[in-house]
Amino acid sequence: MRVLVLGASGLVGAAVATAARDRGHTVSAWGGATPDALPPGCDRAVDLGSGEGLEALVAGEAPDALVNAAAVSHPAGVEADPEGSWRLNVDLPGQLADGARRWGIPLVQFSSDMVFPGGGQDFSPSDPPAPLHPYGEQKRAAEQRVAELHPGGSLVLRITLVNGNSPRGRRSVHEKLLAAIAAGERPRLFRDEIRQPCAAGRVGEVVARLLETGAASGIYHWGGAETISRYELGRRILARFGLSLDRVEPAELPPGRPGRLVLGDGGLGLRLGLGASTVEEQLAVLRQPPRLWEGGEAR
């Protein structure tokens, strides 16, 4: 299968490109057009900030499947630039879904557990979204957009907090945490923010297998095997890298952010023959981001 991955310079897109290549697919991997050098594994840099020329570029690759991992992927980025992030997080998925429908190929669009408000229950793919935050609002809007524009071939994969090594070493949980500490900060991490971290590599495998099995249009969930607070996860990361556990400060969530956020996978792991990974397994493969302790701030 020829798979075109957008956002392949990011944490999740890179993992999808790697998994698809490892499983024998031909991958075109597009990174963002930031001034930094394109990381290994990416074929070209494409600015997706405007939709201009995009369809011709995609059609030129003649893919059998599209995977969109390009996004403004953090809530603070959405708050800082609501319009620019709407283009990336909502308009772009819509444009891709419209094209994919006309080309007769599937689109995998990433979404987030943040479409839910959190609470005592585990959320299933059929539960109605009710985001608390503008980032979650954009992810919900994208879900609706791709379902409307490509009802026969849009696969929305909602994922939870992702652990892994990003191509530039500054996007994942541990990379951001270590960068903040290297810059002299003592990050505040919430004890009541309960998450279900998953492994970037496993997310990549899920996507590859969804495409290989010709999975039906719809919403899918993937998370990790365990729940853990952000604070405890931070301390586990510190321990993993041999740092003192008091480098992070415990804090309580401010209003307006989901507390416990856990996804049920609706049997997806069983259907794909994949198990969710534990926090221990996720931490074992983390690498120290390059250049961190020499230059202060991570690049």
Binding footprint of ligand NAP on the chain (CB under 6 A): 7, 9-13, 31-34, 46-49, 69-71, 73, 88, 110, 112, 159, 161-162, 166, 171
Write down the least CB distance from residue 18 to ligand NAP, Å: 13
Q: Which residue is nearest to ligand NAP (CB)?
A: 10
Nearer to ligand NAP, 35 or 104 (CB): 35
Q: Are 40 and 168 in contact (CB under 8 A)?
A: no
Nearer to ligand NAP, 70 or 215 (CB): 70
Write down the least CB distance from residue 244 to ligand NAP, Å: 25
Residue 111, φ and ψ in degrees, nearest 5? -130, -170
Nearer to ligand NAP, 70 or 268 (CB): 70
Nearer to ligand NAP, 158 or 242 (CB): 158
Write down the least CB distance from residue 168 to ligand NAP, Å: 6
Write down the least CB distance from residue 81 to ligand NAP, Å: 10
Nearer to ligand NAP, 74 or 246 (CB): 74
Write down the least CB distance from residue 246 to ligand NAP, Å: 25
Two structure tokens written together for 118: 């959190």
